[in-house]
Amino acid sequence: MNQSLSAIVQQLMASPKGLLAADESTKSCCKRFDTLKIACTDESRLQWRQLLCMSPNIELYISGVILYDETIRQQTDSGLTFAEALTKNGIIPGIKVDKGLVEMANFAPQTITEGLDGLAERLTEYYAMGARFTKWRSAFTIGVDLPSPAVVRANMAVMARYAAIVQAAGMVPIVEPEVIYDGDHSLAESGRATELVIKVLFEELAAMKVDLTGLILKTSMVLAGKDAADVSSPQQVADATLKVLNAAVPREVGGIVFLSGGQSPDQASNNLNAIGAIGTQPWPITYSYSRAVQEPALKIWHGNQNNIKKAQLKFAQLLARNSAARNGECA
């Protein structure tokens, strides 16, 4: 057991806090801005991320922030870098290190994640900048014969290699095998796919001798697809999700965080609350949301600096709600 990595995990998973995913690529961020007709520039992205990361009292609800490469290199209005400002506020800076999805040869349109080349060198730089944890995402679509076992295995082998390299650099890896919410798949189909992906992931992590106490799993909840005829209730989501996690995740894992994955803010909070209400699990469980806590604030801000305080107030309300939800205490 690596005591220093385990200590970082414990800080990140401390109740009642969650993690903020502020690691959208420039391309993804611009898509969101374009939808609202917000100019997407270096300055507007900086101001938006500063609105989030420097939000008053964020440290009450957030233990760590996943940053994007652009952001960790920028300075806030205080003259400090984002990593320095977060650390000063008692929040651990993290960094997304994968380089995105590309179609996997012979299996298109299924994808594999790139970014292992030069990873060790990049981690040395990020560590010097103040980052103490990292994130790597892969994505899987549910459909006829999907996801393919070969695609799952290939992605999870890469993810396990990433995790080993990160721990060797003295940082905590977050592994994120996302099962995509889009589609008309059933709750049962979601459960089967999610369990398959997570089980293969931990087989590969074991093969790479990754210290599970110094690792966090970021996973999808188990719920029927967006276009499914039957909408999953919060209790159904909670029961199905915890069934999969207890079947597939080793007890030594340092913590589990949920991605919102396209759920609405209310849906993500209500489902998290139902999971928290079931009670203590073998691992601490919390949230690591992006759009589910950001989208309402983004609409209020709308690129107008005069709206910052109103946007931050809404953001704080969403964080408070999800921090209560992780313990099943959301009204």
pLDDT in tens, 212-258: 999 999 999 999 999 999 899 999 999 999 999 999 999 999 999 99
Q: Flag whether pLDDT at 3 surpasses 90.
A: no
Pairwise CA distance, residues 130 & 199, whole Å: 32
pLDDT in tens, 49-78: 999 999 999 999 999 999 999 999 999 999
Pairwise CA distance, residues 286 & 63, whole Å: 11
The three-class DSSP label of residue 89 is: coil
Which pLDDT band holds residue 1 (cuts at 50, 70, 90)?
A: low
**CATH topology for the 3-325 domain:** TIM Barrel (3.20.20)
Q: Which residue from 253, 260, 189, 275 is spatially nearest to 227, judged by alpha carbons? A: 189
pLDDT in tens, 87-112: 999 999 999 999 999 999 999 999 99
Q: How far is CA 33 from CA 20, 82, 255, 299, 301, in A?
A: 19, 21, 32, 9, 11
Q: Which two tokens stand for residue 190?
A: 């979601």
Confidence at residue 174, expressed as pLDDT on a 0 to 100 scale: 98
Which pLDDT band holds residue 7 (cuts at 50, 70, 90)?
A: very high
Q: Flag whether pLDDT at 331 surpasses 90.
A: no
Which pLDDT band holds residue 330 (cuts at 50, 70, 90)?
A: confident
pLDDT in tens, 27-54: 999 999 999 999 999 999 999 999 999 9
pLDDT in tens, 121-178: 999 999 999 999 999 999 999 999 999 999 999 999 999 999 999 999 999 999 999 9
Q: C-alpha angle 240/147/266, rounded to 5°?
A: 40
| Of 17, 24, 96, 176, catalytic | 176
Q: Is 115 left (phi over 0), alpha (psi -120 to 50) or beta?
A: left
pLDDT in tens, 266-294: 999 999 999 999 999 999 999 999 999 99
Q: What is the DSSP letter of 80?
A: S
Pairwise CA distance, residues 233 & 237, whole Å: 6
| Of 17, 135, 218, 314, catalytic | 218
Q: Catalytic annotation on 252? A: no
Confidence at residue 8, expressed as pLDDT on a 0 to 100 scale: 97
174-198: average pLDDT: 96
177-191: average pLDDT: 95
pTM of the full structure: 0.96
Q: Catalytic annotation on 24? A: no
Contact between 171 and 133 (Cβ < 8 Å): yes
